[in-house]
């Protein structure tokens, strides 16, 4: 395919999959349960954190997380007591357990009370070209309070060559305004042009087959290569193609 043919093909796939019907089978379902900005941010962040494995199990366990937070995640984050933290005991999703969950609650409280919230962190540290420096700073802030060493693995660092798939997916949810009602477009001060594509096995394999990516590992270097290719197709909204790559990989076994 020529680049124009590739762009037309992928744009068709974006239109096919970037629709409200996509929500019910995707982890983005969880933040769509809420209307308050902070509830959407926090529920999305926690859901994205456990977004590996089968999507049905991710959604099931994310529902459990929200129930444990009284289905009011922002209020719980700000106002929880020790007894309420103990109620998180027993939660587990793969290697993310109640020890990790408890620290995430404490770290998010620290971010909202000391750093003016998650959006403020990204507004401060994002560049016009990239959100990856801000992800690095988020991890530093997340663990600047006392924490279990085991929990640090649950937030990736692009400066340690991670593709940071989960956080990039969460950032797509919050920043990209697609007018179809899937992504939220809540954070207005960061341009969607700076977003990075959530790079995983599915999107990576499809991107390689389409000639958008040559690097074999799904790491930060591959992410930069893929972002560069997608920005040539649409410099204003490059991560809309996440819907195309994901849909082709998961639903069409491309």
**pLDDT digits over 59-84, tens only?**
999 999 999 999 999 999 999 999 99
pLDDT over 90 (residue 254): no
Q: Percent of the chain having pLDDT more than 90?
A: 98
- Assign 149 a pLDDT band (cuts: 50, 70, 90): very high
What integer pLDDT is reported at residue 1 of this predicted model? 83
β-pair partners for 219: 162
Token pair belonging to 173: 């949810």
- Rounded mean pLDDT, 9-19: 97
| Spatial CA neighbour of 132 closest among 153, 110, 162 | 162
- Rounded mean pLDDT, 228-237: 97
27, 58 contact by CB (below 8 A): yes
Give how many domains the chain has, as a whole number.
1
The residues, ordered by sequence, that sit 6+ positions from 104 with a Cβ below 8 Å of its Cβ are: 46, 49, 151, 154
- Rounded mean pLDDT, 22-40: 97
Sign of CA dihedral 61, 67, 71, 72: negative
Max CA-CA distance within the chain? 61
Range of the domain at 189: 3-251
- Assign 12 a pLDDT band (cuts: 50, 70, 90): very high
- Alpha carbons 115 and 112: distance in angstroms, whole number: 6
pLDDT over 90 (residue 161): yes
pLDDT in tens, 114-134: 999 999 999 999 999 999 999
pLDDT over 90 (residue 42): yes
Token pair belonging to 156: 């990736």
Query: Over the chain, what is the mean pLDDT?
Result: 97
- Assign 92 a pLDDT band (cuts: 50, 70, 90): very high
Q: Could you tell me where the beta strands, DSSP code E, fall in 86-244?
A: 92-93, 96-97
- Assign 253 a pLDDT band (cuts: 50, 70, 90): confident
- Alpha carbons 7 and 177: distance in angstroms, whole number: 20
Residue with structure tokens 């089968």?
54
- Name the DSSP letter for residue 248: I
- Alpha carbons 240 and 11: distance in angstroms, whole number: 9
Q: 28's torsion region: left (phi>0), alpha (psi -120 to 50) or beta?
A: alpha
């Amino acid at each position: 395919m020529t680049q124009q043919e590739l762009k037309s093909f992928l744009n068709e796939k974006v239109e096919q999959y970037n629709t409200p019907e996509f929500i019910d089978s995707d982890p983005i379902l969880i933040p769509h349960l809420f209307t308050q900005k902070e509830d959407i941010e926090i529920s999305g962040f926690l859901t994205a954190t456990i977004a590996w494995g089968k999507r049905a199990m991710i959604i099931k366990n994310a529902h459990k997380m929200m129930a444990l937070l009284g289905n009011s995640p922002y209020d719980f984050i700000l106002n929880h007591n020790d007894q309420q933290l103990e109620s998180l005991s027993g939660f587990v999703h793969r290697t993310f357990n109640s020890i990790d969950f408890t620290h995430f609650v404490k770290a998010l409280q620290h971010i909202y009370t000391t750093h003016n919230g998650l959006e403020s962190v990204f507004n401060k540290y994002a560049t016009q070209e990239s959100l990856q420096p801000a992800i690095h700073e988020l991890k530093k802030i997340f663990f600047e309070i006392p924490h279990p060493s085991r929990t640090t693995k649950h937030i990736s660092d692009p400066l340690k060559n991670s593709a940071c798939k989960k956080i990039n997916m969460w950032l797509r949810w919050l920043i990209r305004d697609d007018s179809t009602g899937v992504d939220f477009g809540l954070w207005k001060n960061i341009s969607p042009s700076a977003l990075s594509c959530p790079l995983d096995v599915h999107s990576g394999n499809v991107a390689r087959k389409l000639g958008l990516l040559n690097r074999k590992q799904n790491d930060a270097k591959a992410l930069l290569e893929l972002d560069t290719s997608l920005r040539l197709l649409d410099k204003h909204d490059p991560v809309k193609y996440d819907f195309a790559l994901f849909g082709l990989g998961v639903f069409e076994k491309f």
